[in-house]
Amino acid sequence: MPRQPLAPVALLAALAACSSAPKPDPMHHDPDPVVTADAAAPAPSPYDAARAEVTRLTAEADRDPLLAAWTGAYGGVPPWDQLDAGKFGAAFTTGIALRAAEIDAIAEDPTPPTFANTLVPYEAAGRHLDRAETLFSVMTSSLNAPEVQAVDREWSPKLAAAADAISFNSKLFARIAAVYDGRADAGLDAEQRRLVELTYDAFVRAGARLDAAQKDQLGQLNQELAVLFTDFGNKVLADENTWIVLDKGDLAGLPETLRASYAAAAAERGLAGKWAVVNTRSSVDPFLTTSSRRDLRERVWKAFKNRGDNGDANDTNQTIARIVELRAQRAKLLGYASHAHWRMSNTMALDPAKAQALMMEVWPAAVARVEEEVADMQKVANKEKAKITIEPWDYLYYAEKVRKARYDLDQDQLKPYFQLDNMIAGAFWMAEQLYGLGFTEITGTVPVFHPDVRVWKVEDKATGAFVGLFYGDYFARAGKRSGAWASTYQGHETYTGTVQTVITSNNNNFVRGAAGAPVLISLDDAQTLFHEFGHALHGLLSEVTYPGLRSTPRDFVEYPSQVHEMWVLTRPILDRFCKHVDTGKTMPQKLIDKVEKAKKFNEGYATVEYLSAAIVDMALHTLPDGKIDPDAFERETMEKIGAPPQVAMRHRLPQFNHLFTSDAYSAGYYSYLWSEVMDADTRQAFEEAGDVFDKATAAKLRKYILAPGNSTDRAEAYRQFRGRDPDVDALLAKRGFPVKTIRVEQRRTDKPKPKGK
């Protein structure tokens, strides 16, 4: 989400402190001037004019609830009850103008640039607009509707242009560059120096050193991309808002809890007496796992995997082709070999070759494991005289049969123990044991953006200090994008002299059960719940001073989330929170033993599904010219790497939201694997301590990994935590693959340089 900088009052104070304008003497009275046409008052300086505009626009923005500072309990909460798509245009207009005036006040400052008069007010600029963008982002992701899409289409290019205007402001960049050049002798502390360096680097990567014509070209590329990102997301969402209707005769093999969920989904869509498989992963995967109707499995699988690829109004292939081409043009303009080289220049891996090397080290073992898994499934199918060859829509169904035969374990045995409410409580208990956090539900006392949303107050259990607010939006519904994600509505900062606490959220797409019945989720769903909660904890435990140091490199950001998945299957969580929905009894040791033995089952499928998508992403974005036919490129790349035909990419290109709704994960889907190396190695640290809730290890994890944000180098932070670089052996062992000796070099000295200085 956007930075949450300093309030305009503090911004003006910071700017005023730097002003050299003389103050009038209140005891001195000049004679009344004679006003003539030739003696008009002199025009204010650009600096004074900008400050006056900041004052005027701040007063205007403070009257708009979409822009104004958040008020109410807990230091202020988002005004979700004020959301109205039709009012965002006016808010964006005012917010953009105010931020531009704030930037002008910095750029036109007549005093020599310093950290205090340049970096501090730059951190402060744009707070009002950030609030409006934060609120609107929730509408586009969780409350999407035609009127929201119309605003998004109109304003995404305008917001992109407004952001470019800052990056391209030569006076502003000159001041930032001056502070950067003098940082060694400016008396800055380590955190301030890092902020200067990261800010300078961000401006360079955004095109600050280009000439006027190049900036104009780059701005046009960015604006067109903004429109295309919105277009892609809306098309995929439209395809996900479809469903396959089932009759009673189509329910063979489905457990009662799943039938109830599909009946509820149908009823929500006005199809009483029917059952509906909605075209989202949380609805599709359980059907593919349990339905004995092969014809329906094929139909459901194809509908899901062909989202965005049906040759209709929602087909995304042309959108993808244009995005990839424009990205390549932008990278070339900025002086990089490809989009991937540009995107990765500020990551831990730093260049595509290292990410590709890691992926291809793991790939052969994953493919070999899939071949073993398919052979096992084919034996089961042959034994049942099914007269089939295993296809992608058979994989989850027959894998479950193999699991049952090999481990006497299936999902139906586990699901009654995983109640959603209990697993939420388990995640909170984990946070208490590891980090001393307490969660108290306050739903109903603060505004929410949908009736499904619940809210918790977060406190330090030892001191009672308020830490922040946590929002949970757990259920699938129309207008909500698929998948699971975490959002930070307000981040931690202290540079204003007061502590700004965190407001964060988790968003899932769990399927409701029958009305009034407990919601049961799968083991995979439980791990996803803990994963997203790990993101939330990363925000809640932040101790950064400056907003610009909150965001970590893309290939680090998934590490804190992935590592928290490990606690789902620990004995303390299982004993306390995995109670049978009917009997209330704890999961028996015999079943726990089965789960432990089967923990690495089907890892071939999971790894190939993920890695194939990550490899295609990297191959796509290392193309120098970006000219592709998406369908042909995907197919040819999968053939080139020898992808097993029984396993499709987790996200095919036509629905790959990670890549094509923003630049965020483009050339970055590898980051889950890169982060998992650190995750697996961290799990070993707790195992070596002999206690999965070891206080000393948890304290180090918090101190070096979670609290600093990006205020310290993340590779060095990992070494401080672990005493060495991470070892890929831990990842291979975690996934049950043959262990090799592979080291992940976290840094390099020959960092690629863009054009210019």
| pLDDT tier at 34, thresholds 50, 70, 90 | very low
Q: Which of 209, 210, 177 is nearest to 196 (CA)?
A: 177
pLDDT of residue 516: 87
Examine the pLDDT at 751 and tell me if it is beyond 60: no
Tokens (6 digits) for 255? 């457990």
Dump pLDDT digits (tens) for 115-134. 999 999 999 999 999 999 99
Average pLDDT over residues 218-238: 98
Examine the pLDDT at 694 and tell me if it is beyond 50: yes
DSSP secondary structure code for residue 586 in this structure: B
Q: Is 532 a catalytic residue?
A: yes
Examine the pLDDT at 585 and tell me if it is beyond 80: yes
* Mean pLDDT of the residues in the chain: 93
Average pLDDT over residues 579-590: 94
Same fold, 8-20+40-209 and 317-412+604-735: yes
In whole angstroms, give the CA distance from residue 289 to residue 545.
Answer: 48
- Chain centroid offset of residue 233 CA: 15
pLDDT of residue 37: 47
> Residue 237 in contact with residue 139, Cβ under 8 Å?
no
pLDDT of residue 33: 45
> Residue 129 in contact with residue 92, Cβ under 8 Å?
yes
Tokens (6 digits) for 515? 């009305």
Q: How far is CA 448 from CA 140, 435, 444, 476, 573, in A?
A: 16, 27, 8, 16, 29
What's the CA angle centered on 614, arms 325 and 205, to 5 degrees?
Answer: 50
Average pLDDT over residues 603-613: 98
| pLDDT tier at 740, thresholds 50, 70, 90 | low
Examine the pLDDT at 35 and tell me if it is beyond 80: no
pLDDT of residue 218: 98
pLDDT of residue 333: 98
Average pLDDT over residues 109-117: 99
| pLDDT tier at 3, thresholds 50, 70, 90 | very low
Class of domain 317-412+604-735: mainly alpha
- Select the more confidently predicted residue: 753 or 352: 352
Strand 466-475 vs strand 454-460: parallel, antiparallel, or unpaired? antiparallel
Dump pLDDT digits (tens) for 492-526. 999 999 999 999 999 999 998 888 899 999 999 99
Helical segments of 29-74, H only: 46-61
Q: Give rounded-to-5 percent helix, strand, coil for the chain.
A: 60, 5, 35
CATH code for the part of the protein at 8-20+40-209: 1.10.1370.40
Examine the pLDDT at 756 and tell me if it is beyond 80: no
Examine the pLDDT at 291 and tell me if it is beyond 50: yes
* Residue ranges of domains in the chain: 8-20+40-209, 243-305, 317-412+604-735, 416-597
Tokens (6 digits) for 83? 């959301």
Examine the pLDDT at 562 and tell me if it is beyond 60: yes
In whole angstroms, give the CA distance from residue 455 to residue 468.
Answer: 11
Q: Is the dihedral of CA 6, 7, 11, 14 positive or negative?
A: negative
- Measured N-to-C along each axis, helices 671-689 and 603-621 cross at an angle, to the nearest 10 degrees, of 140
CATH fold of 416-597, please? Neurolysin; domain 3 (1.10.1370)
In whole angstroms, give the CA distance from residue 709 to residue 552.
Answer: 6
In whole angstroms, give the CA distance from residue 458 to residue 464.
Answer: 9
Q: Which of 635, 658, 621, 554 is nearest to 326 (CA)?
A: 621
Examine the pLDDT at 19 and tell me if it is beyond 60: no
Out of 123, 532, 558, 565, pick the active-site residue: 532
- List the end-to-end C-alpha distance of the chain, in Å, as a whole number: 30
In whole angstroms, give the CA distance from residue 400 to residue 387.
Answer: 18
pLDDT of residue 39: 55
Q: Which of 663, 665, 655, 670 is nearest to 607 (CA)?
A: 670
> Residue 528 in contact with residue 566, Cβ under 8 Å?
no
Dump pLDDT digits (tens) for 526-558. 999 999 999 999 999 999 999 999 999 999 999
Examine the pLDDT at 13 and tell me if it is beyond 90: no
Average pLDDT over residues 333-341: 98
Helical segments of 241-316, H only: 256-268, 281-290, 294-305
Average pLDDT over residues 551-572: 97
Dump pLDDT digits (tens) for 372-390. 999 999 999 999 999 999 9
Residue 502, SS3 per DSSP: strand
| pLDDT tier at 9, thresholds 50, 70, 90 | very low
pLDDT of residue 411: 81
Length of the chain, in residues: 757
Dump pLDDT digits (tens) for 626-676. 999 999 999 999 999 999 999 999 999 999 999 999 999 999 999 999 999
**How many percent of the chain have pLDDT more than 90?**
89
Cα-only R_g, the chain: 27
> Residue 564 in contact with residue 531, Cβ under 8 Å?
yes
What's the CA angle centered on 699, arms 489 and 524, to 5 degrees?
Answer: 60
pLDDT of residue 131: 99
Average pLDDT over residues 75-103: 98
| pLDDT tier at 746, thresholds 50, 70, 90 | very low
In whole angstroms, give the CA distance from residue 108 to residue 122.
Answer: 13
Residue 677's contacts (CB-CB under 8 Å, 6 or more residues apart) are 358, 726, 727, 728, 730, 731, 744
In whole angstroms, give the CA distance from residue 430 to residue 34.
Answer: 76
pLDDT of residue 41: 76
Examine the pLDDT at 7 and tell me if it is beyond 60: no
Map 688-725 to HEC letters: HHCCCCCHHHHHHHHHHHHCCCCCCCHHHHHHHHHCCC
Task: Kindly report which listed range (8-22, 145-159, 168-182, 524-538) carries the lowest average pLDDT score.
Answer: 8-22
CB neighbour class for 325 (10 Å; exposed up to 12, middle 13-18, buried from 19): middle
Tokens (6 digits) for 447? 């505004």
Residue 591's contacts (CB-CB under 8 Å, 6 or more residues apart) are 409, 413, 414, 417
pLDDT of residue 749: 34
